[in-house]
């Protein structure tokens, strides 16, 4: 399938990158390049596959590229990248992860996090108000941390957090308990029960043959099933949920609702 992104890339084109491993699933290049084109901005965002072992070296090299203005960060680098910026903005400090970084006027790099706001905005735009919900979330990595903070900030009634890495899980639970004392927080548990929404914030479903991140077969049909994976758009979890008659919430809603915020963070404005 052929996509026309920018009419021309020239010597004065400003560069942006998205870094992750894997990277083939990333939809950000399509979304951001459409924004650049619509706004008449001479810029392009390109995907870069960078394994964790090479991250520090690769980011140091990218920082040295004079016409590279910003970087979008995806799995599995959102937490590690906090050590590779000069300054974390308040949301990123609170969450302990970033999903974007930019070169400031003084040449320093600063990072911020918009995954959580993108997710809750997307829920509301699709008619799903998180306030008052009981939520089960699998995943306490970079994106999972952002989602948990955003859901608690949005006023969910309770939040059950589960991750195969118990240290990450328990650390996130402790963060949410301290920051949002009005939210009932539960640690662990493989099976969501008595909830209004379940959320997959793990990579399970990105690769063929991945197991489901959790079992939904005992959930009531009125439970909303959400995934933050972008590709495939309908993950095995969402396909199973549709088969059972659940409402589903796609991962692309997160990206689409945070993209304008990240573009603004990058200083992108119509010409």
Could you tell me the CATH number of the domain that includes residue 195? Answer: 3.40.50.720
- Whether 125 is a known active-site residue: answer no
DSSP 162: E
pLDDT (average), residues 14-20 = 97
What are the tens digits of pLDDT across the range 51-101?
A: 999 999 999 999 999 999 999 999 999 999 999 999 999 999 999 999 999
* Calpha distance 74→98 (Å, rounded): 9
* 74, 196: one domain: no
The region, left, alpha or beta by phi > 0 then psi within -120 to 50, assigned to residue 205 is: left
Our measurement of the distance from residue 36's CA atom to the centroid of its chain's CA atoms, rounded to an integer in Å, reads 20
78, 125, 145, 231: the active-site residue: 78
Q: What is the pLDDT of residues 217-259, one digit of tens each?
A: 999 999 999 999 999 999 999 999 999 999 999 999 999 999 9
Q: What is the pLDDT of residues 120-145, one digit of tens each?
A: 999 999 999 999 999 999 999 999 99
Place of tokens 């390049």: 33
What's the rounded Cα separation, in Å, for the pair 225 and 216? 9
Report the CATH number that the domain containing residue 67 is assigned in CATH: 3.40.50.10860
Residue 229 lies in a domain: yes
- The domain containing residue 30 runs over which residues? 14-113
- Where would I find the beta strands (DSSP E) of 104-241? 109-112, 134-138, 158-162, 184-187, 197-200, 224-227
Same domain, 123 and 159: yes
Statement: the pTM of the whole predicted model exceeds 0.85:
yes
């Amino acid at each position: 399938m052929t996509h026309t992104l920018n009419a021309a890339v020239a010597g004065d084109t400003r560069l942006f990158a998205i870094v992750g491993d894997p990277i083939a699933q990333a939809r950000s290049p399509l979304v951001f390049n459409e924004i650049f084109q619509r706004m008449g901005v001479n810029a392009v965002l390109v995907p870069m596959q960078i394994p964790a072992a090479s991250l520090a070296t690769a980011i140091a090299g990218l920082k040295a590229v004079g016409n590279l203005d910003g970087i979008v960060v995806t799995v599995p680098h959102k937490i590690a990248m906090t050590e590779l910026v000069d300054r974390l903005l308040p949301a990123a400090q609170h969450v302990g992860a970033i999903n974007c970084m930019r070169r400031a006027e003084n040449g320093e790099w600063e990072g911020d996090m918009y995954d959580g706001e993108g997710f809750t905005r997307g829920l509301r735009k699709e008619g799903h108000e998180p306030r008052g919900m009981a939520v089960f979330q699998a995943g306490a990595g970079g994106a999972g941390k952002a989602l948990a903070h955003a859901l608690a900030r949005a006023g969910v009634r309770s939040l059950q957090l589960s991750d195969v890495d118990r240290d990450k899980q328990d650390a996130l639970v402790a963060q949410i308990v301290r920051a949002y004392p009005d939210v009932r927080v539960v640690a662990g548990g493989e099976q969501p029960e008595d909830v209004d929404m379940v959320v997959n914030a793990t990579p399970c479903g990105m690769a063929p043959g991945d197991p489901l991140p959790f079992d939904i077969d005992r959930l009531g049909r009125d439970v909303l099933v959400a995934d933050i994976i972008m590709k495939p758009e309908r993950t095995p979890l969402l396909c199973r949920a549709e088969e059972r008659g659940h409402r589903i919430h796609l991962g692309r809603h997160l990206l689409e609702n945070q993209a304008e915020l990240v573009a603004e963070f990058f200083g992108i404005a119509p010409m």
